[in-house]
Amino acid sequence: MEEDHIMKKLKAGITFIVLGNVLYVAKDFFTNILPGAFSDFTQGFLVGAGVGMNVVGIILVFIYLARVEKKAEQ
How many distinct structural domains can be found in the chain? 1
Contact indicator for 57, 16 with CB cutoff of 8 Å: yes
Angle at alpha carbon of residue 5, lines to 24 and 52, rounded to 5°? 20
pLDDT in tens, the chain (74 residues): 567 777 888 899 999 999 999 988 888 777 777 677 777 888 888 899 999 999 999 999 999 999 888 888 87
Phi, psi of 59 (to 5 degrees): -60, -45
Tell me the HSE value of 36 on the side-chain side, using a 13 A CA sphere: 3
Closest by CA to 66, choosing from 58, 20, 16, is 58
Contact indicator for 65, 6 with CB cutoff of 8 Å: no
